[in-house]
Amino acid sequence: MRLGVLDVGSNTVHLLVVDAHHGAAPIPAHSHKTGMRLAELIDDGERITRAGIDSLVSFVHSAQEVAEDFGVTEMMSFATSAIREAANGEDVLHEVRDRTGVDLQVLTGEDEARLTFLAVRRWYGWSSGRLLVLDIGGGSLEIALGTDEVPDVAVSVPLGAGRLTRAFLTTDPAHPDEVKAARKHTRATIAAVAGRITKVGEPRHVVATSKTFRSLARIAGAAPSSEGPFVRRHLDRDDLRAWVPKLAAMSARERADLSGVSAGRAPQLLAGAIVAEAALDLLGVERLEIAPWALREGVILERLDRIGR
């Protein structure tokens, strides 16, 4: 079966085409994406702008054409925090449906955490024991912990790298007072939910997904993506702690010169590092592993499970 997964995220809109069937790992066949930064196309009323809506519709049309060209037999389409939290989110969904025929399903933050956890569980297997999974997106941070395929606890907090950058880190390079305010806000937000997570029990493995964590691991010395998904990659808290002040002193252009950091992600990397450091500190994590599977794979796996029943 050839499936298409259209993921409308806060930073990137991405169509992933995979070959998949129940009981097997999905195999990527094609990737079509754009760094739309939908969460930045917001007006003062927290509404996605006309330009944002038109850009999204245009990409959905292109995704439909790509899906047809690659022989996709079923398309799954979902949206996350950018549309979920926009004041006109429902209007955007209706307009996308009317103009393209694509019915975007809006995932809750808890759904994002749960499906990402499922993907990580399948990647690592049962022998990995209790997993703690972290994912930093453009609009939110997802945390899940558990021993089964459904986590015992799954939470989402509004600490995405893009959101924190827009709210606090408005100068380039960031002013020390901005960094301090962002750090204070981040730690207070995570501290409010940390008890729900840590009371479940000690994780055997701590795993991170998302481009933000991959970029942070890369600048700390992890292998590049060109070496493939099976290379073990990790990020140590001590390395992360050392990088936060370095990133704060850099401009976005200077960050983009770092290995593994794209020009589009560079402005948000400091915010992502602040969130990552706070999460590791408050959850008592010394080292985490980087997983190649995340939310999109979780959506695919859940769909395959339903087909196989």
Instruction: Give the relative orientation of helices 237-249 and 211-219 as an angle to the nearest 10 degrees.
Output: 90
Nearest CA to 246 out of 146, 179, 181 is that of 179
Q: Residue 99, Cα to own-chain centre: how many angstroms?
A: 27
Residue 59 clears pLDDT 70, i.e. is over it: yes
Tokens 């690592």, located at residue:
124
The per-residue pLDDT for 308 is 63
109-295: CATH superfamily: Exopolyphosphatase. Domain 2 (3.30.420.150)
Q: Do domains 2-106 and 109-295 have the same CATH topology?
A: yes
Taking the C-alpha atoms of 267, 293, 3 and 105 in order, what is their torsion angle to the nearest 10 degrees? -60
The per-residue pLDDT for 22 is 85
Tokens 């796996």, located at residue:
301
The model's pLDDT over 183-241, given as tens digits with 9 standing for 90+, comes to 999 999 999 999 999 999 999 999 999 999 999 999 999 999 999 999 999 999 999 99
The model's pLDDT over 247-280, given as tens digits with 9 standing for 90+, comes to 999 999 999 999 999 998 999 999 999 999 999 9
Nearest CA to 288 out of 205, 216, 200 is that of 205
The model's pLDDT over 112-160, given as tens digits with 9 standing for 90+, comes to 999 999 999 999 999 999 999 999 999 999 999 999 999 999 999 999 9
Label residue 44 by pLDDT band (50, 70, 90).
confident
CATH for the 2-106 domain, from 3.30.420.40, 1.10.357.10, 3.40.50.150, 3.40.50.740: 3.30.420.40
Using CB atoms within 10 Å of the CB of residue 238, give its burial: 0 to 12 exposed, 13 to 18 middle, 19+ buried: exposed
Q: What does the alpha-carbon distance between residue 288 and residue 286 come to, in Å, rounded to a whole number?
A: 7
Nearest CA to 117 out of 91, 135, 96, 140 is that of 135
The domain limits of the chain are 2-106, 109-295
pTM over 0.85: yes
Count CB neighbours of 9 within 10 A.
29
